[in-house]
Structure 1
Amino acid sequence: MTQQEWLARDFYAALGVPSTASAEEIKKAYRTLARELHPDANPHNTQVVERFKAVSEAYAVLSDPAKRKDYDRTRRLFRSGASARTGFPPEAGTTTTARAGSGGFEFGDLFGSRSPFTVGDPLGGLGDVLGDLFRRAGTRAASARPRRGSDVETETRMSFREAVAGMVLPLRVSGPMVCTSCHGSGSRPGTRQRTCPHCHGVGIEDRARTISVDVPPGVGDGQRVRIPAQGEPGLAGAPSGDLYVTVRVDPDPVFARSGDDLTVTVPVSFAELALGTVLSVPTLDGQVSVKIPPGAQSGRTIRLRGRGVAHRGTAVGDLLVTVEVAVPPELDHEAAEALRVYARAEESSGFDPRAGWAGRR
């Protein structure tokens, strides 16, 4: 491709994005098109292969901030008047008052000894800009300068008890990876110049893979786990980005969590609190017995040391057991009569449950 042909290409149009698109929008558009146009999904379709190459070329320039800046600047310079003086076709909607001869030429002629531009030319040193751009840009991602791959984020969901205990989680992810044929070089193995037939010189291909994520004990809802070097691959041998997995934890029907402490509410009867009792309370690894002293109040919390959430290298939290009176919705005749007898005895003893409350004496 000549330099003139290179500049005449609209890389934004190739990706289907406006020239004001953000880096994230450009990456998203490339991913979508790369999956849709990948030769593996369109065997024997030469038109799709050519478009895949064009999309890859466009992404190689627009994904690099320095190359994109030079590309945009050069296009603006030519729109401002270079088309009338070089024989380039103007963009749609542009009117020119003069046009050079119809014969084609290379940029080497334009900025060589026959160039009409001088050091003080109104295009602001366009020759230097283009020379630097062509030296650095290339047309494929594999020829780009080394650049670390982007970090990738995903989510996974697990039960409350899995999150507390920790686990090794198999995670299925898909996205750009280093080409398995050319190992990211973009060239056919054993050659320097021949384009890799598998990724068509991009050095990257989309594929799915399963990785093992070591979720540490005690991970909380919304917490992120970092897996180094499992993000998008770097360009030209640069390291890959990282993968960040956000953990979503389902609530548990029995336990709740407060930091490293577990909390559980145990329903009890009035008689159990008044007379005292021994309760069987669930923990993460079985049942334990908890003694409730006579006269304990509803809402009292008893702390069981070392029965909470464990973190790597830190102390284990506690289990906080809260007792709460459960009132029967209905009473049969015998129970109701017995309760009335108790209420009269309670009143005779002078007990007032609201004594001292709201200023009462």
Structure 2
Amino acid sequence: MGSHRRPARPGTDRSTRVTVLSAAAATAAAALAAAPAGAAPQLRPERPADTRAEIDRLYEEAERATEAYNDADERTDKLRAQVKRAKESVARGQERINGMRGELGALAQAQYREGGIDPALLLMLSSDPDGYLDRAAVLDRVTFRQAGELTDLQKAQRGLARERAEAGRALAELEKSRAVVARHKRTVEHKLATARRLLNSLTGKERRAYDRASRGGDRAGLPAPAGAVSSRAAAALAAARSAVGRPYVWGANGPSGFDCSGLTQWSYAQAGVGLPRTSQAQRHAGRQVSLSEVRPGDLVAYRDDASHIGMYVGDGQVVHAPYPGAPVRYDPVGMMPVSSVTRI
């Protein structure tokens, strides 16, 4: 979002590895902590400056919730794919076991039919004693081998069944976390409606002052970028520019609407580069550089938690999806505190 003017502590660059469940739980907990679900919408403060600050807070809260939702949604999709692969593997293993059981059953029946005759007598009665011995030896070996394979397949089936059960439990837990974030999203949407009412309550002069503040920032201190821009960065930048004017949409990653990280993910996808879904993950998707080294195509993350992200376009500006109600647009790179710059 481009409306935050409060200073923030410098962001850190640590990337923490966590399990799927603990990450989803932490995401939901952080989102809930940011804005309690039961919080009642506040009335318009008496001073326009306080009204603008309240609108800023609500927009910032909404974006954090959106990124939390995106993270849970992405993890759920990945786990669902894992469960699908596990089920397919189990089905293939079961099919192989059924085939082996059929073969062993046929062999058992054949042995049973011959089992009443003493092998020595069969040998004496055989017109081809050497051939009989060869067939008997082969039958024994095949039976032993197939019995071993059946045991192995049964073990594999049990292992796959355990994996499927574990994946199912994990998916259920993740779906619960996703539901928590979705409920939080609905709560923040209610707060956004309050923000829109607050915004509409401003006079024309106050509204213009708010818009100037939301699009303000320090454009000084940014030298001309050094070095050539890569072809993938140029392609991603062209895609991002083509999205200017399209609406901000909750949880969307194009092509008709975007949230902040959805825009950068979609833009780099047009250049053949896969980025993670959330702004927090995207900040670690490449090499981090200083703001003084920023080049067109670099990703610029904002706030100490990297809950907002845009793409640098040059001339001290970024292109980004600001917040609900504001379309994809250009704003000064210094519109809010920068936490990191990432070169893909």
If the length of structure 2 is used for normalisation, what is the TM-score?
Answer: 0.25
If the length of structure 1 is used for normalisation, what is the TM-score?
Answer: 0.24
Structure with greater Cα Rg: 1
Q: Which has the higher contact order (CA 8 A, sep 6+)?
A: 2
**Structure showing the higher strand proportion among its residues:** 1
